[in-house]
Structure 1
């Protein structure tokens, strides 16, 4: 069916309300009509994510309803007896509306729903699925995307995001629905009376908060000195405000200063158009507050509170936002070294990172004889490994992180968790403060010991149907006609995750990659530098990750500038 035919189908459907049809009739730009209808909003391993609005390629009550009907069919097909789904939502526009819509569809299909009374972080939903023994979970969020976006993330009964096999089966159920007439719905008040809809809140929060606090490593240190730590925190208009402050308060951190202008939930993100803690601009107000407070640490969490960004003073006294890699290696080192000192480090411990995350973590873990595992980009794959360890007892999960500001300790959550991250960061800063060191000092010590690793991410925004086609063509060109060197340094290994092949270029040998297939390419050079190219799973972007190792900060900066320039010349040529 062409985009025009789908557009007309929506306009003529008796199941589409008049307000939605009016929104569609007002569109004058043919390109916009095409973009709204050239495809169904794609259901992938992260569920749905898209711009809010009318159309098959937008997030709205109809696309949410259809996705939920597909999920309901999948659950009823695969499970018998009583079945429940837990649902949470964040501060984004229409999040509550979409959560209610999903609940009404599930209840109409005989599946009971545990719906949070108000907004909650994504990791709380992950915890809730397992805690309440649900068969699946849904959280309405678009994480750190701009205000025009929202999303629909689906979790399996093990509390991790659905991975490839389950996502495909759910997609098959969605695709089998001929039109919106197949989507069932039930009045929520009727669902409550029928005991299909259960409103949840503090009864779950309390258990989650206690488990987070139990992850404290140096309990005596925190108990004695937490009150001395000066903290500035911004929830960036999101869902982290209450749980983060509650955990810190209950642990004894009395000096927590919250950025008032960013404290209240607001889906329009008035002070941060791109509410992403990796963007220095979101900390502008916090830095103004810092002039008076003079904090030991500043940190912020994104709208659904699964990512954390940290700001510290560097050696020149200037505030600097740490990268996700820097935060991750600091926490990796702190957790492993602390457990070793306390004689609690398990011999079969493992750290998990993604293929685009800093290799510095591996260097640190190796120093303690701790294994490091690589997984594909996406925390769902880390959650999958935690489940595997639970079944096989082969390893003890210690810590996992992504370069994109997400991390997780503990196993009662199966997704990145900025509530846990905030608690561990405060403990880590407190530990170094008691040793007379700042967090920047601690990072410098690690660089001096393990090498100056520097990572860079470049995102090429390629909107619409044409953009998606350009991304696919560029990856295919790189796959089939990649140069043998970059900036005068030979490529030693090439990883093609779509074909599941790892090639040793210098030796002329190859191995199978034992990871799920994904349209991602990685190239490692003789000097240890590397780059990865992949399409974003949540935004209309092609992402290029680059990494170098230097002998000093100056050397790393110089190498990075030259390497990045050479890599982007190759990428831009492939995009023509």
Structure 2
């Protein structure tokens, strides 16, 4: 079916929904109309994410309702008892998040499925915890994480509290495709008895679970600046810190209240240094010890700390992760089977540190659900004791109460760590430099190439094909030793030509590993119209690492097809 046919169906329905008619009739750019209707918004293990607007390739109440109908049919087909177990639903501060959550609840209720809906915004990790705590059959959270204000998304969780697996996603997609008419999905009334407000005791239980992972520091003199970046972290983060004994917490007022426009930042992403401009300005006036911020759905944490010259360094996810790995392993008693989990595009910095403590290190595909899967496996088998899991994109989790990254517990642990080092006359920056001196100077960066629309998809495929077919074998004094293709699941020893299998799910990722702990990886984003190139090098000094990083980036970009 061509895009014009899809467009006409929506225009025809516009007589019943004036929002459709008004929005689509105002568009004069044919390319824009084609992009909205040439395909359907894809649904995968990360659910859906797209630009807000009318169309099959946008996120709106009709796309959300259809997806939820597919989920409802899947759950009832798998086990009729899932109707009673129900589905937990949460949402963040983005535009239409509350409306999409309400529509999801109404669709579930119309199918006779209990919908446990929060009465106001909550972080993603709270939803993960709620699914486990209430023992629901699934969970839904409405969020587009750290994307700009024009985006929203729809994520689905399994009964373990982790994002759904590939097999479950395929089953849900099969059911979604049986719903051929976007406008025929039935909605229950707002006051349907199947729509149940999540009780306050679930929030209290979550806070207690987080406090059970972190150590209390009553009477702490640590000076803290926190920004929730207009999102859902403000209430739970401040409550946890206060109940752990941190009284000197100042919130960036301009970024405190939920606001889907994110008016003070270009993108509400703690990976972007600019989001901390207001917080750093405040910290310099007040002499704060530490600054941190959470993204709109409060699953990612960015951290700033004092440098020796008095300025503030904005740490990367790899740096914060490495510091936490070291701190968690030395500040708690762990059994011999202790282990951490990280993603394949996360630096080896934390892995090298973990191994020095005798901890096992497991690599998984990008996506925190894979870390959650390891946690669930080990919980059942007893093979390992989970210390923490983390990824370079600023997500971390410690504790067994959830199966997704949690900036609330990460905030508590980072503050605890800052207190530990302050008592020893050190900052987090000092601690980081000590680790670099001991284990080598690791340096990482990410290059994101945005390629939107139909042409963008084709260019992304062209780039991946080019690097599969041909790639450089050395840069500076480093030599390529291994080439991993996670789509064909083949690991190739470059020197011998020998191959072996990769025991991970199929994923369109390429990783090129050089000696001396340097590598780069290429993967299309699963949630955004872009391709990402991850770089990681290790040097003998900061200057050596900088030079190596510049050389590997230059070599990769010289191979990019035009």
Q: TM-score scaled to structure 2, two decimals?
A: 0.98
Once the two structures are TM-superposed, the CA of residue 562 in structure 1 deviates from its matched residue by 1.6
Alpha-carbon distance change, 508 to 16 in structure 1, aligned in 2, over 3 angstroms: farther
The residue number in structure 1 matching 2:240 is 247
Contact kept? 1:232, 1:290, Cα under 8 Å: yes
Per the alignment, in what secondary structure is the counterpart of residue 20 of structure 1?
Answer: helix
- Using the TM superposition, give the Cα deviation of residue 484 of structure 1 relative to its aligned residue in structure 2, in angstroms: 3.3
| Structure 1 pair 14–460 and aligned structure 2 pair: CA distance change class (3 A) | closer
The Cα shift of 1:65 comes to 0.4
Q: Does 2:297 align with 1:304?
A: yes
Please give the per-residue CA displacement for 1:431-472, whole angstroms capped at 9, x wherever unaligned: 000011010000000000000000110000111111011101
Q: Which moved more, 1:60-69 or 1:12-21?
A: 12-21
* Closer/same/farther in 2, CA of residues 418 and 159 from structure 1, 3 Å limit: same
Q: How does 1:121-200 map to 2 (within 5 A)?
A: 121-189=123-191, 191=192, 195-200=193-198
- Give the Cα–Cα distance (whole angstroms) in 2 for the partners of residues 285 and 14 of structure 1: 44
Q: Aligned-pair distance for 1:213? A: 0.6
Partner of 1:555 in structure 2? 544
1:18 corresponds to: 18
2:225 matched to which residue of 1? 232
The yes-or-no answer on 1:207 pairing with 2:205 is yes
Q: Are 2:497 and 1:522 equivalent residues in the alignment?
A: no
Report the Cα offset of residue 489 of structure 1.
4.0
Q: 2:248 & 2:206 partners in 1: Cα distance?
A: 23
Contact 2:74 2:175 in 1 (8 A): yes
Quick check: 2:113–2:194 contact (8 Å CA) kept in 1?
yes
Q: How does 1:160-559 map to 2 (within 5 A)?
A: 160-189=162-191, 191=192, 195-217=193-215, 219=216, 222-223=217-218, 225-226=219-220, 228-339=221-332, 344-486=333-475, 489-559=478-548
Give the structure-1-normalised TM-score: 0.95
CA contact 2:14–2:21 (8 Å) conserved in 1:
no
Unaligned stretches of 5+ in structure 2? none
How many Å apart are 1:199 and its aligned residue? 0.7
- The DSSP-based 3-state class of the residue aligned with 2:310 is coil
Q: Deviations over 1:32-64 (max 9, x none)?
A: 001111110000111010000000000000000
Partner of 1:50: 50
SS in 1 for 2:340: strand
**CA offsets 1:241-279 (integer angstroms, 9 cap, x no match):** 000000001111000000011000000001012000111
Q: Which of 85, 105, 111 is 1:103 aligned to?
A: 105
1:372 aligned counterpart, secondary structure: strand
Paired residue secondary structure (1:404): coil
| Counterpart contact for 1:10–1:16, Cα < 8 Å | no
Distance in 2, Cα, partners of 1:485 & 1:21? 57
Check the 8 A contact 1:15/1:181 in 2, yes or no. Answer: no
Q: Distance in 2 between matches of 1:556 and 1:488?
A: 12
How far 1:392 moved relative to its partner? 1.3
Larger mean Cα displacement after TM superposition, 198-207 or 357-366: 198-207
Aligned alpha-carbon RMSD (Å): 1.3
> Hey, what does 2:122 align to over in structure 1?
120
Matches within 5 A, 1:14-93: 17-81=17-81, 82-93=84-95
CA distance in structure 2 between the aligned counterparts of 1:174 and 1:252, rounded to whole angstroms: 48
CA contact (8 A) 2:88 2:127 kept: yes
Give 3-state SS (helix, strand or coil) of 2:100's partner. Answer: helix
SS class of match (2:400): coil
Q: Report the alpha carbon displacement of residue 478 of structure 1 after superposing the two structures with TM.
A: 1.0
Question: Distance in 1 between the 2:225 and 2:14 partners?
Answer: 52
Cα pair 1:15 1:180 within 8 Å, conserved:
no
Secondary structure class of the residue paired with 1:188: coil
